[in-house]
Amino acid sequence: MTLADELRTRNFSLYGQWIGILSILICLAVGIATIFTFNVGLIIFSAVCIVSGLTIVFVEVPFLLRICPISGNFEVFIQRFNNNIPRGFFYLALALIQWFTLFIRGSSLIVAAVFLTLSSFCYFIAAIKKQEFTTSTTLGGQGMAQQII
């Protein structure tokens, strides 16, 4: 199944996953860009944003769990998010952390908060519509084993 075919399925968990992939790039980019400010609070939130982006990599690209050496505890933590509702709450928690940067000062970290919120909403919509949790075959989800063989 190609990316275009996946997007035509109207499955919001796939939309959430692809917005999550964009969130990885945005979290890493704005986290690195904002870490060079002279505001201690923003530096802390920037570091959290970078760690969030790196964590989302393992949540959204399940193939990496098989090829990267990670601890058993981290793998158990990541496996908790293999359903729409837990994944929606995961993204919502990460988004709320970034929204709290507004209490310090407005910065580019708000862009990360917006994308994390959008991904959260997609997963919640998928849960409300009772859509099956699916991951993209392009990113190593269901069907990846058949593609390797």
pLDDT digits (tens, 9 = 90+) for 88-146: 999 999 999 999 998 988 888 999 999 999 999 999 999 998 888 777 776 655 543 33
Question: For tokens 């981290």, what's the residue?
Answer: 74
Give me the number of domains the chain comprises: 1
pLDDT computed for residue 30 by the predictor:
94
Backbone φ, ψ for residue 30 (5° rounding): -75, -30
- Look up residue 99 and give its amino acid: W
Residue 70's domain comprises 3-148
Q: Tell me the pLDDT tens digit for each residue of 15-45.
A: 888 899 999 999 999 999 998 888 898 999 9
Global pTM value: 0.84
d(CA 92, CA 88): 6
Sign of CA dihedral 92, 110, 125, 75: negative
Reported residue count of the chain is 149
The two tokens of residue 23 are 């969130």
